[in-house]
Amino acid sequence: MPSAGASLHDLSFREMAETLEASGVNPQHAKALWKAIYRDGDRDLHVRSFSPPLKRWLDERLGDGREFHVDSPEVVDEIHSSDGLTRKFLLRLSDGQVIETVLMGYDGRHTVCVSTQAGCAMGCVFCATGQMGFVRHLRPGEIVAQVLHARRVLREIAPHRRLRNLVMMGMGEPLHNIDSVLKALDIISDVRGIGIGPSKIAISTVGVVPGIRRLADENSPYRLAVSLHGSTEEERAALVPASQKWSLAMLMEACRDYGERTGKRIFFEWTLIEGSNDSPETARRLADLLRGMDAHVNLIPLNPTAGYSGKTSASGHGFQRILREAGFPCTFRQRRGIDVAAGCGMLKAERRSKPAVVVPKA
């Protein structure tokens, strides 16, 4: 059943202080509450030793059927990669919707990949989430709760490690849910709590032009990654239906404007698909498309899905060489968790026809 009331995880620090003050509690107590939720990661706020006014407020207003609750998604499934570096979680939200979160380990750092929507409206043909269709946006608290879950797991398996990086590359299109995403990132980057630095946070978009322009207008401190996948209007439209609304020309104009106004490098993501977008001619067109921009191209081997017949390209290194010769940094994304369906939406799609295995909370 959906939780009653509002989520504390949806509140910014200022809103939390104002909420307490409106109830007659000194707003200074917001510091202790914020620390408990975000720095210490408390899940049961009723057992913590707070000042009497704050404890009374929580006892009266926090809980099932009361004014406030906290987002605590249920772990429906958890699988580990064979290399021991990736854990993927299937999380059930309070209304029964299921999303994915991935904790990935790299040399010296850990990254969490979070979802921003249940399903996705963009319909990219090779994406498992896009094949599901759109259900709803996630609230800021539902995004934040994924980061808290990943950090909690990391503290259990590697107490000496910090969660350093965050990528908005899970289920959904972040810039289609931009208000919730930016509010969640304000909470996540707040140094009084989780404290993941803005330079360690990446927002990935399939090319929602109004969102890119808003990030430029607001001089967003986060990194921008754009899923391009095509070097001509026709090539891209065959893979990314959203290009029918925001053409390649419109997208590149917005990206150039973003780069000029913010001074930030843009990471262009390119899923290599055999016979579709992996030819030398395509690589040269892409280089021409990016000419004059501070751009880094991230090549991604295709994750096969049941809903798409495309094949992983074997031409990646030749594609990479052409882009590097044109002067662009070009790397292959480090693959993590392919044996545990770590591509966005893949685990949920795989589990649709199987009974859920509920992992008890610790």
Q: Hey, what are 190's tokens?
A: 């707040």
Q: Which residues contact 56 (CB under 8 A, 6 or more apart)?
A: none
Q: Which of 18, 39, 40 is nearest to 30 (CA)?
A: 18
Do 50 and 40 contact (CB within 8 A), yes or no? Answer: no
Look up tokens 């989780």; give the residue.
194
Do 149 and 91 contact (CB within 8 A), yes or no? Answer: yes
The two counts, helices (H) then strands (E), for the chain are 11, 14
3-state secondary structure 221-234: CCEEEEECCCCCHH
Q: Rounded to 5 degrees, what are φ and ψ at 83?
A: -85, -5
Q: How far from chain centre, in Å, is Cα 1?
A: 25
Q: Is there a catalytic annotation at residue 344?
A: yes
| 100, 173, 235, 269: the active-site residue | 100
Length of the chain: 362
| Strand locations in 107-218 (E) | 109-113, 117-119, 134-137, 163-168, 201-205
Q: Which residues contact 308 (CB under 8 A, 6 or more apart)?
A: 125, 126, 131
Q: Hey, what are 267's tokens?
A: 């990471």
Q: Hey, what are 235's tokens?
A: 């090539």
| Strand locations in the chain (E) | 6-7, 68-69, 74-80, 86-92, 98-106, 109-113, 117-119, 134-137, 163-168, 201-205, 223-227, 266-272, 295-301, 330-332
| 113, 120, 255, 344: the active-site residue | 344
Do 278 and 235 contact (CB within 8 A), yes or no? Answer: no
Q: Is there a catalytic annotation at residue 124?
A: no
Residues with catalytic roles? 100, 344
